[in-house]
Chain A
Amino acid sequence: MRAITNKLSNEELQQRYREFEKEAVPHMDAVYNFALRMTGDEDDADDLVQETFLKAFRFFDKFEKGTNCKAWLFRILKNSYINDYRKQTKEPDKVDYEDVQNFYENIKSDQVEMQHYEQDAFTNLLDDEISSAITDLPEDFRTVIILSDIEGFTYEEIADFVDIPVGTVRSRLHRARKMLYAQLYDYAKDKGFVAKKKTSK
């Protein structure tokens, strides 16, 4: 941070602070949430968010005004997460895409009965159970579903963020939702929110 003070006058720093407060600070909750979902640990999330915002402030002259500041912050967070956090802890679980494919193929339409939608069994689930189901997803799938369904990024923005083709975003998102559905369906069934299927003799 000292480098900034060497290069910028106090007036320029004040200007940067004002712009940063207006453009970047309002996205702190979104950045914090994403950090929390990615690390699954409050202390690690705190460190990541702090590092993200300090880096963002330091390099705020690189942010193109008028573009998506939230996406820019998320990119800084992702780089910190990959370069620092994940190296210090552990490599992410390698995703065996064949396993995911097999799992996914096993979720057939016959497991999905229209009455689920009518009775809306998921309504009774706790927010914590939904959060937990998301955390249990493999990282590649968790990332796209959080960015799309919670943060509202477009496929193109997610592709840019994760550095994968748009088609892969769509494919991962499709599978992530199916996996999440299966997980939540199991929770709902265990809690008796879903009527057990009658077996014919």
Chain B
Amino acid sequence: MELAEEITAYVDNEVKDFPVKCRLGELIKNDFPIRNEYLIQKRIKELLQQRFANCTTPDELRNKILTEIFQVKFN
């Protein structure tokens, strides 16, 4: 696995091996290019979590689906 991809896994809390996790943490602290990778991955993840324009299911669609399912019950 490329080191850069390990940084992605680190950001996602998907590095299960504790010593590897510690080593990556040290690299992020001390290595400028690795820190940049970390910041890009983290920033995009946070941006999508916080800002992604989530839409609510339109009421018409929700009602249509629930009505259709509900009709099955009494067919």
Contacts and interface: CB of A to CB of B under 8 A. Distances in A.
A177 B8 contact: yes
Interface in B1-45: 1-2, 4-5, 7-9, 12, 14, 32-33, 36-37, 39-41, 43-45
A67 interface: no
Contact of A148 (B2, B12, B73): B12
Interface of A is mostly: helix
Given A32-B57, A167-B1, A170-B1, A130 B40 contact: no
Interface residues of A, number: 47
A145 interface: yes
Interface in B47-75: 47-49, 51-58, 61-62, 64-66, 68-70, 72-75
Interface stretch (A48-56, A82-90, A189-197): A48-56
Interface in A174-201: 174, 177-178, 180-181, 184
B75 to A, nearest CB: 5
A53 B72 CA distance: 13
Interface string A19-52: 0100001001100110010000000001001100
29 contacts: A2-B75, A10-B74, A17-B69, A28-B62, A29-B55, A32-B55, A32-B56, A32-B61, A33-B54, A50-B61, A53-B69, A54-B69, A57-B72, A109-B37, A112-B36, A112-B39, A117-B39, A122-B47, A127-B51, A127-B52, A130-B52, A149-B44, A149-B45, A170-B5, A171-B2, A174-B7, A174-B41, A178-B40, A180-B44
